[in-house]
Chain A
Amino acid sequence: MVARARSMIPTLLKTHETMVLTSWMKSQVTAGSLRSGQMKEDELKDQSERFLREFVHALESGETNDISGATWSSVRDLLAEVSRSRAAQGFSPSQTATFVFSLKEPVFTLLRDEIKDDAAKLAEEMWTATTLVDKLGLYTTEVYQLRRDDIIKRQAQELLELSTPVVQLWDKILALPLIGTLDSERTQTVMENLLNSIVHSGAEIAIIDITGVPTVDTLVAQHLIKTVSAARLMGADCIISGIRPQIAQTIVHLGLQLDVISKATMADAFALALRRTGQVVNRAQTKPT
């Protein structure tokens, strides 16, 4: 319905570019885009200018309904860039969307001033403008959301890697301090890390310390047993340490069979590991026994 009569918006925008830009900038500033100080006015102005230019350019093609086409690709790219950088700078979604939505006011003012006498024409152009800006605004929000999702995914990945370190304690002895709840995915990572470290370091004993594991239920126990079994298949023995009193009680109440050597503290486990591997640590100036 809109594309039938060629829209006047691009021509109007082109002739009044400076005015629109100034009033758009003003409404953006009052909307608080700069308030939090994450962004300089020059940058905002540059972005706005570029957007307006691309916007007019895309409008001139006459395609005003569908912004997913090739004509709108440069506008989309620019918006994607803007919302990505804003997501990274810590803007809120509404602040990011305001960048586009605040364009409505100057455009509407312009239309009202220019097409005063033809109400039907005015309504039609208004409609064109508002649907377009809405679509672009929604697109901005979408990109923003995607970017945030990326950030969250990356953080989850980092957390996963950070939380499963394998430490070489001594010759042939590894320690695996577990922190946080064990789910299937983490168990997989833990297992892979542990087994690869066993191969690299030629360890014979791995101490799995569960001091940082908040609860041990049947599932966690199952995962622990899997890890221990896998290590045993590689020829390394496991010792589980750091079982807190409550957890010991839970294990018994649940009737879990851990079937592994367990020690209350890491120190006990380490002492046992040293004994098993035939190593002795002595105090200085004491005769070795």
Chain B
Amino acid sequence: MEQIPILKVGRCLLVSIQIDMHDKLAMALQDDLTQKLVETRARGVLIDISALDLVDSFIGRMLSNIAAMARVLDAQTVVVGMRPQVAITLVELGLTLPGIQTALDVDRGLALISKLMDEPEGDRGARGAH
């Protein structure tokens, strides 16, 4: 069965989604990711969706779920590389992914995560300007 690789880069985990997601794969990813987060004690999760040209409400919810799970495990989630068409579709669907931080590319995502990790504990999880 196909699997989405989870790579550890510094203090955070890098997940690059390059194939079409379906229910099973999403569940497996959530399992793997939470497992890895606990194992590696990573403080950030970077999800790269630049290869996806179709994001529906299902994947939108999956992203929100992953962000919420990571938050419980004290890690920040940043979604990077969303394509313009995908962003427009999500907004038209009414999915604005509240609670998820976003960045343009992996580079900026990493910078954002390290900035978030350096913030004092109390500010964690509050969605705001970066």
Contacts and interface: CB of A to CB of B under 8 A. Distances in A.
Interface of A: 188, 191-192, 195-196, 198-199, 202-204, 226, 229-237, 261, 276
Given A234-B82, A261-B129, A276-B129, A229 B96 contact: yes
Nearest to A201: B104
Interface string B89-130: 011100011000011110011000000000000000000011
State the majority secondary structure of interface residues on B: mixed
Nearest to A205: B129
Nearest to B92: A226
A195 B84 contact: yes
Contacts, number: 59
9 smallest A-B Cβ distances: which pairs? Answer: A195-B84, A235-B103, A235-B102, A229-B96, A233-B87, A235-B104, A230-B87, A230-B91, A229-B91
A234 B102 contact: yes
B72 interface: no
Contact of B105 (A195, A196, A202, A230): A202
Q: Which among B83, B104, B130 has the highest number of chain A CB atoms within 10 Å?
A: B104
A164 to B, nearest CB: 14
Interface residues of B, number: 21
Given A195-B84, A195-B87, A233 B104 contact: no
Nearest to B101: A235
9 contacts: A192-B84, A192-B88, A199-B104, A202-B105, A230-B87, A232-B102, A233-B82, A234-B87, A235-B102
Nearest to A261: B129
B66 interface: no
Contact of A226 (B91, B129, B130): B91
A233 B97 contact: yes
A55 to B, nearest CB: 53
B42 interface: no
Given A199-B104, A202-B104, A226-B91, A234 B129 contact: no
Contact of B88 (A191, A199, A232, A235): A191
Nearest to B96: A229
Given A191-B88, A195-B84, A204-B104, A232 B96 contact: yes
Contact of A235 (B82, B91, B129): B82
Contacts of A229: 91, 96
A261 B96 CA distance: 17
B80 interface: yes
A233 B88 CA distance: 9
Q: Which among A188, A195, A202, A203 has the highest number of chain B CB atoms within 10 Å?
A: A195
Contacts of A188: 88
Contacts of B88: 188, 191-192, 195, 230
A112 to B, nearest CB: 68
A233 B91 contact: yes
Nearest to B130: A237
A188 to B, nearest CB: 8
